Amino acid sequence: MSNPLPNDPGYINRICGFGLILAELFLQIQIEEKCIVVLGEGLLNILQIILNSESEKSIKCVCQVLKLTGVKLEEISESSSKKLDELFSGLRLIMVYPDLDPNLRFIIQNVIEMRDSRWGQNRTEQSSCDAAPVNTDGYDEPVFFGPDGKVITEEETSFLHDNIPLSEDIEDYVW
C-alpha cells in the first residue's frame, strides 16, 4: 500500500486524526459485546500507513493508539496479531535510530513493554476481586469513592454534602 504525500504535515495530521477516531469507534461500537473485527483490521492498516511516514507526530500517534486499543487488537484474530507483530517490528527499528528524540524513544519503549506484559492484564486480573460492584439497575448515577478507594454510598454522599461547608477556596479540599 503506497503512502501518498508522506511528508505533508496536513496529510499526517488528517491521517493521525482519522486513526484516533477509528480507534475510538473500534473500542466503543460493539455487537453482542464483541468489537467489530473489520474496524480493528482497518485500524491496523491505518497504523501501518501512519508509521511509514516516520515523523515524530506519526510515531507518537501510533503509540497512543496502541496504548488505547492494543489489548483489544490482540484479541480480534490471528491475522491481527501478526499485523501487530509487524507494527512492533517497525517501532523497534525506529528505536535504534541514533538521532531519535530520547522522549520519543521512551514512548516507544513504554508501548513495547506494555505489550510484553500483556497490556497489563495480569494486574487487572489480580485486582478484579476488589472491584466495586457494577450498577445494574438500568440507570446511571454518579459514583463517588472515598480516600480508601471504596465506593461511598448515596447516603454517605448526602451526609458529606450536607455537613461539609463549601469554601470559596476549593483548593483547601482538593489539593
Q: What are phi and psi of 140, to 5 degrees?
A: -95, 130
Confidence bin at 101 (pLDDT 50/70/90): very high
Answer whether residue 120 is part of any domain.
Answer: yes
55-68 burial, b at 16+ Cβ within 10 Å, e below that, comes to: eeebbbbbbbbbbe
101 and 57 share a domain? yes
Any idea what the CATH number is for the domain that residue 102 is in?
A: 1.25.40.180
Q: Check whether residue 123 and residue 145 sit in a common domain.
A: no
Tens of pLDDT, residues 47-64? 999 999 888 999 999 999
Work out how many domains the chain is built from and give that number.
2
* Sign (positive or negative) of CA dihedral 110, 113, 119, 125: negative
Whole-number average pLDDT of the chain: 80
Same domain, 45 and 75: yes
Are 35 and 80 contacting, i.e. CB atoms less than 8 angstroms apart?
A: no
Question: Among residues 78, 21, 14, 19, which one has the least CA distance to residue 48?
Answer: 19
Backbone angles phi and psi of 134, in degrees to 5: -85, 135
The residue range of the domain holding 77 is 9-128
Residue 137 in any domain: the answer is yes
Distances in Å between the alpha carbon of 68 and those of 20, 21, 91, 110? 9, 11, 16, 13
Asked if the model's pLDDT at residue 83 lies above 70, the reply is yes
> Beta strand 30-31 with 151-152: parallel, antiparallel or unpaired?
unpaired
Supply 122's cell numbers.
Answer: 495480569
Residues above pLDDT 70, as percent of the chain = 77
Per-residue pLDDT reduced to its tens digit, 18-36: 999 999 999 998 887 777 8
Instruction: Judge whether 152 and 164 are in contact, CB under 8 Å.
Output: no
Pairing of strands 30-31, 34-35: antiparallel
pLDDT given for residue 7 in this prediction? 66
Is residue 1 included in any domain, yes or no? no
Do 86 and 65 fall into the same domain?
yes
47 and 95 assigned to the same domain: yes
